[in-house]
Amino acid sequence: MKRSTFSGLVSAAAVGAPAFLRYAWAEDLVTVGTVNASSDVPFFIGDKKGFFREQGIAVKWTAFDSAAKMVVPLGANQLDVAAGAPSAGLYNAVVQGIELKIVADKGSTPHGFGYMPLLVRSDLAPHFTYKDLKGMKVAEPAQGTTTSSTLNEALSQAHLAYGDVTHEYLGFPNHVAAFAGKSIDASMTTEPSATLAVRSGAAVRYAGDDVFYPKQQLAVLLYGGNLLQKNRELGKKFMIAYIKAVRFYNDGLARDKRTGHGSLTGKNGKEIIDILTEYTAVKDRTIYEQATPNGNDPDGRVNLVSLRKDLAFFKAQGLVTGNVTADAVHDGSFVDAALKVLGKYKHA
């Protein structure tokens, strides 16, 4: 999507709009779909720190309830980049010949960074165990995403099947109100919505997903046909900026030596929280101080073992029926190209 863009007669910056809403003079405009989760933070960092501008890129954001809803616009070149949980719809689109690829890590769950915990409604929490999930109404963002596989792993802790619960499909921010209104019993909820639900008193964090599904490739960066074929050089530039932002993010992470719990208390942690409160609807910085941050590989590598496992789950559920593999949907060449420029990560 090679095009020049200018702010027009009146710049949004002139009226004090946040940086990510401004149009800017740039040679290349990249359209990016997001899910309004805390794992979107590398995009915000890349904008705030000027990493995209360094590459001659202006970014336009579009919010979706889940990455599953980005597949069609990505395949139609209405989006250049999508970000969120891989879905059955993604693999089905590939089977149908739609050109898109998983190109980098966007959110994963190493020890201490279980950022999409299993939440339970407060009045049900006393004496709760995994086996009590049977028959409950459990919220997840959409049918057939990696969140579904995460929930399946939680259920397996009590030898329960995915069909042993009633599934309620709600965008993550809506989980908070659903708990308060007692229309759901439990949820798989990403940050910062998870911390908001707990802070409201309506829900309790039972377990982080790093406990029952460690190192899951929960969210990914996806490229559509424009960056994969028509403008690969732009795809490489975007990846350079993205990985620089991911590394800045990693330099803000820390893990408690006693509990192993992850937090944004590292070198860049305070600045990252400043960016999150500027770019998101959550303006209370204590939410991000308490929230569990996501893992994100500083060299952009994805966990193919996890992707294969989740695809197998989709196939077992009958959600993907075509002959497709996770390896075939992965393209690591953009990360490889970026690392030739940036080198391997060295922690600050």
Identify the three-state secondary structure at position 162.
helix
Residue 24 identity (one-letter amino acid): A
pLDDT tens per residue, range 25-57: 446 999 999 877 778 999 999 999 999 999 999
150-206 pLDDT tens trace: 999 999 999 999 999 999 999 888 999 999 999 999 999 999 999 999 999 999 999
CA distances from 253 to 14, 149, 256 (A): 34, 26, 10
Q: What is the pLDDT of residue 284?
A: 95
The answer to whether residues 18 and 278 touch, using CB atoms and an 8 Å cutoff, is yes
The partner residues of 241 in beta bridges, in order of sequence, read none
Neighbours of 177 (CB within 10 A): 14
Calpha distance 140→147 (Å, rounded): 7
State yes or no: pLDDT of 98 exceeds 80. Answer: yes
Residues of the chain with CATH 3.40.190.10: 2-111+216-342, 118-212
Rounded to 5 degrees, φ, ψ at 43 are -65, -45
pLDDT reading at 22 higher than 60: no
Looking at residue 323, the DSSP 8-state letter turns out to be S
Q: Does domain 118-212 have CATH number 3.40.190.10?
A: yes
Q: How far apart are CA 334 and CA 165, in angstroms?
A: 40
Contact indicator for 267, 70 with CB cutoff of 8 Å: no
Q: Are strands 186-188 and 118-121 parallel, antiparallel or unpaired?
A: antiparallel
Q: How confident is the model at residue 348 (pLDDT cuts 50, 70, 90)?
A: low
Distances (CA, A) of 344 to 335, 337, 348: 11, 12, 13
* 196 in Cβ contact with 287 (< 8 Å): yes
CATH architecture designation of domain 2-111+216-342: 3-Layer(aba) Sandwich (3.40)
